[in-house]
Structure 1
Amino acid sequence: AGAASATAALNGTPASSTTTIASQAVSIGFTVPSGEAVTITGSAAITGGDCGFSSVRYYLYDHSGTQVKNTSLGCGSAGSLFTATLAAGSYTVLIVPPGPVTGKYSAQVFAAGASSATATMNGAQATATTTLAAQAVSIGFTNPTAQNVALTGSSTITGGTCGSTYVYFYLYDHTGTQLKSGTRSCGSSGSLYTMSALPAGSYTVLIVPTGLVYGTLGLRVATA
């Protein structure tokens, strides 16, 4: 395990590293203070060279250099990478471009149950505003009793270009277990999904753009 190019704060904004040499990889470090589930998102903004239709690889390593997870995203895109239950300690995400390209590579780390804003059942939409390309947010809510719950989501884009990308809405329980996911076209709003007999408890919805955009991301929860 080598030195990280940048460090991500748990539940903070994306940490980024920019390359100027073709094919250069970067590593983003982070620390987990106690054993818990974390979800990691990533992005790659290509500034030089041509990716073609290839993908950027993301590898998660623990402090000993043991690989924990790996996945890929389309070159020049963003999205959710992986959820893993990690022991307390230091970790790095190694981001490897597919070919002779340069760019700005980022990773963002969320702990289970952490939220940027809170939605009230049957209340107004809760929102969180982002200022960095591909930045994700987490919106929490509490379900007071087992009941059907309908979720709607929105994204108002103020920077970057949506193109044909989507925004993903991932529902997690308090342990960090993913229960459901849904999508809306970037820059749109509407119904996501209805959870039947959702048990009482606390939940979070991780909202993840797949394009290099930023703006206001929202969630509303209501009984169904």
Structure 2
Amino acid sequence: AFVLVRLYQLPSENEDLVRQITYATNSQDPVDLKDLKANDTIQRQLEMDIQELGFTYRRKRTDSPLKPTDISSGTAAQAILAVWRKKPHQSKYFIREHFGKLYDQIFKNDINGAQTIIAALIYRIPEAKRRKLTDQDPQFLRYASAFIAMQMGKYLLRDMGCPVHSLNHQNFSRAKQLLDDKGSEYLERSIESIDAALKMLYGTGDISLQQLAATFRRGDLIEILDRIEE
């Protein structure tokens, strides 16, 4: 039996080139891509930043159960894309691209540990709500968690009185305290704003589950939500 092997001779100090070749020659499975990106400079920097704030960033896969203070790189990607990049539809339904085509959009050089933690904590709130829906809850909640997280991020920054790029280690404690104190309020306000946006889009009649699912896979609701907030 024969095995085809491709060899590259590279200078040992050129780690970036090594990573680029590794990325280009491996499969496009999303888990593989996440592993390949784990040693990127931005991933290592986030790990250090987040540790300084009392949390743990899991940039590599682990079989250990995650603790409340753990944030996986996959969760971080979803949260950042929804909350700060304002692409909730891509956060929820383009997961395969988070460490591929969307990677540079999510993990820009300006992202820091404080922003990542707050985004992840925000994202947990509507996700927890989605997992415990009752018959009295609006049907759209099963699809809308990323959109809710985006809205919650807006309300938090408004109360902080700063744009997202000003959220850092210095004001992290205040941001976290606001989220602890007003997270439920942000959640309810976000649900109300999305309900209003859906009524603007479809009127006051019933919306089928199929329509709802399709709506939250698209981005046109984002513009309506922005108009409501003006």
Which TM-score band applies after superposition, normalised by the shorter structure? Answer: under 0.3
Structure number with the bigger relative contact order (C-alpha 8 A, sep ≥ 6) is: 1
Structure with the higher strand share, 1 or 2: 1
* TM-score (norm. length: structure 1): 0.25
Structure with the higher helix share, 1 or 2: 2
